[in-house]
Amino acid sequence: MTDAVGEVSVCVSSSLAAVLKRSRQYQQHSAARGRRSSNRDLSSLTAPPFILSPVSLTEFPAYWCEHPDIFAAIADAPSDESRALAVLKWFICTLKGQYTSRNESMGSEKKPLNPVLGELFYGHWPAPSTHPSQGTTTLLVEQVSHHPPITAYVIENKSKGLRLVGHNAQKTSFSAGSIIVKQIGHAILIYTPSGGGAPTEYLLTLPKLRIDGLWYGSPYIELAETSHIIGGGFVTSIEYKGKGYFSGKSHTFKASVTPAPGLGGHGAGEHVVEGTWHEQSTFTKGGPAKGHARKGKPEDQAIFHDVTNDGKKEVTALGGLGIGVEGADEEGRGELETRRLWGAVARGIREGDFETASREKGGIENDQRQRRRDELAANTTYQLKHFTREDADPVYERLARLGKVAPASEERWVFGENAPGVLG
């Protein structure tokens, strides 16, 4: 999320009301000029500490796997059709953590800390002692660009043959009292069978976000438009709506899972999953193979997933250097690892010591500006640790054509297969 509260960077104010006042003034100014919206990218605006989250955006990819059991279950699906539904179930179960959990824990949506170039985060979800066959899931994140901000990540469960590689960026604008966030990027999920055989690839695209509630000082996120999961012979389209659509509830979605013609998709036709992505959804079995979905027969409907009772697991952060290694702190973290870099800022925000948070945050930002100036003077560029950029992603292009997804091509960030030893 970004803080889109005016055409200039926001300075530290005496209260959140002052920030919201700037939002109202901005909209009035836009209306006076006969414009309904502003397309200016607001991602880089600076926010005062009291509307900041104590968590950096570099940690946000952990939301993809707060349910490592559901992620691991993708590998256990007995058919391509059931695996397509397992991927959808896992994707839906990630949405509450990504888009509503901060409202529950902090009262309203907060602006996350803006990562510095090269910022790193490592973590894992160990296999539970009661279910060791689930395997351990690991997370590696690197901030691969600062202007524009782009975060790349790898999530992997090696024992299950599952790997998710992706990147995410945002382009934000202010429109009709809301902040509109276009999520740029995608993820590729790869399942490789343990007994051999060709891997199956799935393309996951990202929904657009609309941040409402600015006028009331309590911002919250709604998902909008459509995202897709494409692969394994199936195309899944997920349509998002807010209040006034479908059930009239917030956070509503409707997903259709359809065999992909001519590409090996075999199943009972179109399956429909619908409900609220932060609560509960139901599943309606497909109709005949020719693709006509049955319309709500009771015997064909069942609870698909109950997000309110699925037992999410927080990631365990790990130090990438290792304890006792030169340059590491007491947790084994290097200077650019998220929780070391932003530790004093996060502590200040949590404790309400905004003066300290502001001073520490400013020091980090000034240090980064100086590093970029030094690199410019030396005619050098920062060397990323784990990822390299390529102009196009052939897997994205192939699967996007199948689902008629736009744009037809996107860049990709290729993992260098150099995870620290702590990730195994």
pLDDT, tens digit, for every residue of 228-276?
999 999 999 999 987 644 546 789 999 999 998 765 555 556 899 999 9
Residue 130 counted as domain residue: yes
DSSP string, 225-281: EEEEEEETTEEEEEEEE-TTSTTS-TTEEEEEEEEPTTTT--SSS-EEEEEETTSEE
Tell me how far CA of residue 194 lies from CA of 62, 87, 203, 344, 397, in angstroms.
Answer: 25, 18, 21, 44, 27
Please, are residues 36 and 176 in contact by the beta-carbon 8 Å criterion? yes
DSSP string, 162-186: EEEEEEEEEEEEEETTEEEEEEEEE
CA dist., res. 189 & res. 402, Å (int): 16
Q: What is the CATH number of the domain that holds 39?
A: 1.10.287.2720
Residue 290 counted as domain residue: no
Residue 270 counted as domain residue: no
Residue 385 counted as domain residue: no
Residue 92 counted as domain residue: yes
Give me the number of domains the chain comprises: 1
Can you read off the two tokens belonging to residue 359? 């001073």
Residue 135 counted as domain residue: yes
* 152 three-state secondary structure: strand
Name the residue range of residue 191's domain: 16-223
pLDDT average, residue stretch 397-411? 95
Residues forming beta bridges with residue 113, ordered by sequence position = 56
The backbone region for 138, taken as left when phi is positive above 0, alpha when psi lies in -120 to 50, beta otherwise, is beta
What is the pTM (predicted TM-score) of this model?
A: 0.84
pLDDT average, residue stretch 166-171? 93
Residue 275 counted as domain residue: no
* 368 three-state secondary structure: helix
- In the chain, how long is the greatest CA-to-CA distance? 70
Helix (H) or strand (E) holding 297: none
Given a cut of 70, is residue 373 above it in pLDDT? yes
**pLDDT bracket for residue 214 (50, 70, 90):** confident
**pLDDT bracket for residue 289 (50, 70, 90):** very low
Residue 174, pLDDT score: 85
Residue 264 counted as domain residue: no
